[in-house]
Amino acid sequence: MSNFIDDCLNGDAFFSDIDSVVDRWHQGEIKGDISLREALGMTKDEYVLWMKDPDNINFIIHARQRRIPVEVAIDEFFSLPMAARGSSKDEINSIVKWLKKEHGIC
């Protein structure tokens, strides 16, 4: 059975389809006795990062696609010169620090 992240990586789903997957899971339309995290195809750290800010799905999928740790994908993004960004680097860094402290991840 495929999951949301695998579907994105295979080109069968868009990042924006995540809400539909969550709705289908809540309605019991996803077969098997699996958690939402498993249906999405996320590791525990990815799931925590996504729960803190759903927009982090972009970093999660980008990291998976490149086979790099998600914190590296975040660092790379914020090292690019840009005029405007959605989240501050400090905000992302605080999330990564929290993940390391509370869950020993990243």
Q: Low-confidence residues of the chain, pLDDT below 50?
A: 83-84
The CA distance from 36 to 4, in Å, is: 10
pLDDT for 60 equals: 96
- Tell if the pTM clears 0.75, that is, is over it: no
Count of helices and strands (H, E) across the chain: 7, 0
CA 2 to chain centroid, in Å, comes to: 16
Contact 18, 57 (CB under 8 A): yes
- Alpha carbon distances (Å) from 65 to 18, 32, 47, 80, 84: 17, 26, 16, 19, 24
